[in-house]
Amino acid sequence: MSMPAKTASILRACLPVFLCAMAIQCAAPIKDFYPDTYFSEDGIYENKPLGFLLTYKGNWDLSTAPDGFSKTARDFAKTLHKDGAELLFLGSTVEGTQGTRGIAINLNLPPIEYAQKIQKINAKDITRDLGMVEVVSDQMPMVKWEYLMMGDFHFVEFFFVVGTYDVRIAFWTKKELFERFRPTYEDIISSVTKTSRN
């Protein structure tokens, strides 16, 4: 039984839209090497495969699902994957004035060596390098690196090792707001706690 000509015409007209929708839906998802969770009610970020958690104080919104990232963030996550690293999470304060992200890679390097590698890779994009310092939290040694990017944004990154995994946690905001929020970033990073891996 053949379909009416009008129905066939409508289906042919809709086919490009349908195929485009299917292509978007069928785009390969980004593999989540180290599945993690953000418990927004408590502000707790937990990564069981890597074996650590930290507590975000204040009104932060974190996304841990790569397929939920913006296109730019997904492209960044794919670039990291090519080098064996993973964008663990991206987030911001609810009003959008501050940002954060976490990255992990299985290099088993001391924090200072990993931080220096990242510093060298990103040198051309940094407006002003404010230097690195080794710090010790209650749980583990870390390296803190501060720099300005795009002229207007002040970043601080903390590098530490969990097992054989090098982890980077970054925070940023406009340079005129940074000193006001520095204690918040330091409180958050000081909450890093090693947990059992599973």
Which tokens sit at 95?
């009003």
In a domain, 3, yes or no: no
Q: What is the mean pLDDT of residues 77-81?
A: 88
Task: Give the pLDDT band of residue 196 (cuts 50, 70, 90).
Answer: confident
Residue 82 maps to a domain: yes
Q: Is residue 23 part of a domain?
A: no
**105 falls within a domain:** yes
For CA atoms 37, 42, 44, 46, the dihedral sign is negative
Residue 139: domain span: 30-194
pLDDT score at 18: 32
Kindly tell me if the per-residue pLDDT of 93 is higher than 90: yes
Whether 4 is covered by a domain: the verdict is no
C-alpha span between 90 and 73 (Å, rounded): 8
Confidence of residue 20 (pLDDT cuts 50, 70, 90): very low
In a domain, 10, yes or no: no
Total structural domains in the chain? 1
- Domain for residue 83, yes or no? yes
The pLDDT tens digits of the residues spanning 94-153 come to 999 999 999 999 999 999 999 999 999 999 999 999 999 999 766 689 999 999 998 799
Instruction: Tell me the Ramachandran region of residue 107: left when phi exceeds 0, alpha when psi lies from -120 to 50, beta otherwise.
Output: alpha
pLDDT score, position 28: 52
CATH code, domain with 92: 3.40.1000.10
Per-residue pLDDT at 13: 38
CB 140 within 8 Å of CB 161:
yes
pLDDT tier, 70 (very low <50, low <70, confident <90, very high otherwise): confident
- The structure tokens listed for 61 are 């919104």
Indicate whether 22 belongs to any domain.
no
Query: The whole model's pTM is what?
Result: 0.82
- Give pLDDT, residue 5: 46
